[in-house]
Amino acid sequence: MVAGVSPGSLVLSGSVLLSLVLAATAVCAADWPSWGGQPSRNMASETAQGLPDCYSPGAKIDGGKMDPSTTKNIKWVAKLNNNTFGSPVVSQGRVFIGTAGDSPADARILCFDEETGKELGTFVCGPSKTKTDNFGVCSTPTVEGDRLYFVAPYPEVMCLDLKSWLDPSAAAGGADSARHIVWRYDMAKAMQIMQDHVASCSVLVHGDFVYACTGNGRYKNLGKPFYPLTPSLIVLNKHTGQLVARDDEQIGEQLWRGQWSSPSLAMVNGKAQILFATGNAFCYAFEPVDPAAEVIPDRWVTTTLRGPIVYYINVKGKDTAGLSPAQYAKQFNVLSSTQKPALPLEFRFSIDMPVTTPVDSIPTARVPDVPILKKIWWFDCLPPEYRNAPFYARQATGDGQQHPCDIIATPVFYRNRVYVAIGGDPVHGSKDSKGYLVCIDATRTGDVTRSGKVWSYDGMTASLSTVAVTAGLVFAIDEASVIHCLDADTGRKYWTYALQGDQGQINSALLAADGKLFAGNTILAADQTLKILGTVERSAHGSSVPCVANGVLFTVMGKSLWAVCDKGEKMP
């Protein structure tokens, strides 16, 4: 489970620990070393300056390459592979990004020189033990000192030694990548996981620990396994990869489909909270791991489902007549006479049946016997009228109205408040369906669904986007490619703007920096008054979110990574 670590190395000497602390604090303040650039995951930079309000990748020449003489405000360009869903990060003069290869076995992390764009190294994940889609490494890396942490698509949490990998005297190619792994934690092998598509969590490193979403979920295909009791959030020792804690919320049984959100950090009145948004549209705050808690490796315990059991009612082609799922189940006797529920049931509508827990027995599972993460507060981000609507398990479009959604976005912490939007995968039913954005008071405790709601906003379609909060404003983008500017304190809407020529939120995301809002092919003012500053000519933005570091914007366009800076070149 943990490779390359001797038992004696579990205890670090004082000198080694001191060197690790010094390395961690040596990160340049203007770097962007993780998803969102900071543990709060806010897609905004408060320090960036001098970014251009327009840029162009230039005209194409023979072979589809760009003519460098026609680019505007482009510092350098580096070639990526076919699929790039991860986002770039910048640390200590290097740019890292996950991408795909020719097969799932070629999923890789690329490293480029921050100043020149020269490729410095390729880390190849290698063959997977489970079948995954060829999306490559979707996990945005987290860099701390000489360590890089990410989730391989299998899913495995990995820790890489950057000194070993990027040593100029050694070959930095992908053929010998395994020797640069400090440790790896195979989540699929260690605990039962049903992973939908691919793992995409960007891990949170806080203190001596790595927090990661397992990606466990359910699927429409009844032939696939379903593990409702598998933990959704786990914690690993960042030095050794040993599992040290897990959640016990039994989120798997409550899922609509999958889980792709990443954990984030809140510092509430000086105390840390680990934020985690789930596939059943809840947002949790957990206490950080207690470093003094005793952990016995490889000890297991049998757990049982506490209930309720979620029972899906297939209403494809049927009229629900305005009934709630529970009312419908009672009126139409959806259970057969031989089905005797072993636990209370929660009825939900679906269109095409997702895999469902049997109702006549109590599920059990073998789970790691490690300390349980303690809840501080939790918030149901999905209004009741949404939750009771039909769930489209695998339909191209939703109904355009209220619709149960998971959370794919990552919760953002800003001034004792948490901001998160709901929205599922558009190709699995949430396209054009009604969205919801909530602002939560992070100073409360317990179930804060009512008491902790500062404001909510339902004037958007479903959203996959992690929001940007800056200068007292919240910027969010939905699946209809509409940007929403709201007051961070009250939720008041200042303006909306529909992006032109964009293919939807799954292909665009927001970044606020230097008073500007970078969104797909458009650059707007990060202001409560709508101002269009410029456009990006002839670009093909993907799902990757740009980042900004040291006065340069790093963004994925097409099959390339572009470094954008203000060179004084104006558009015609």
Show the low-confidence residues of the chain (pLDDT under 70). 1-29, 61-64, 128-132, 170-174, 220-222, 391-404, 425-432, 501-508, 538-542, 572
Residue 501: predicted pLDDT: 65
Instruction: Report helix, strand and coil shares of the chain as percent, to nearest 5.
Output: 10, 35, 55
Residue 11: predicted pLDDT: 33
Q: Determine the Cα–Cα distance for residues 541 and 335; give it in Å rounded to an integer.
A: 48
Residues near 495 by beta carbon (within 8 Å), at least 6 away in sequence: 485, 528, 529, 530
pLDDT in tens, 116-149: 999 999 999 987 666 667 788 999 999 999 999 9
Amino acid at 260: W
CA 65 → CA 57, 119, 141, 540, distances in Å? 10, 18, 28, 14
Residue 384: predicted pLDDT: 83
Of residues 106, 108, 110, 85, the one with CA closest to residue 97: 110
Q: Determine the Cα–Cα distance for residues 510 and 475; give it in Å rounded to an integer.
A: 8
CA 487 → CA 47, 205, 362, 452, distances in Å? 21, 30, 47, 18
Residue 381: predicted pLDDT: 94
Q: Which domains does the chain have, with CATH numbers?
A: 7-305+363-564 (2.130.10.10)
Contact between residue 438 and residue 423 where contact means Cβ atoms under 8 Å apart: no
- The number of beta carbons lying within 10 Å of the beta carbon of residue 418 is 26
Residue 77: predicted pLDDT: 94
Q: Determine the Cα–Cα distance for residues 410 and 36; give it in Å rounded to an integer.
A: 9
Q: What's the pTM value of the predicted model, to 2 decimals?
A: 0.91
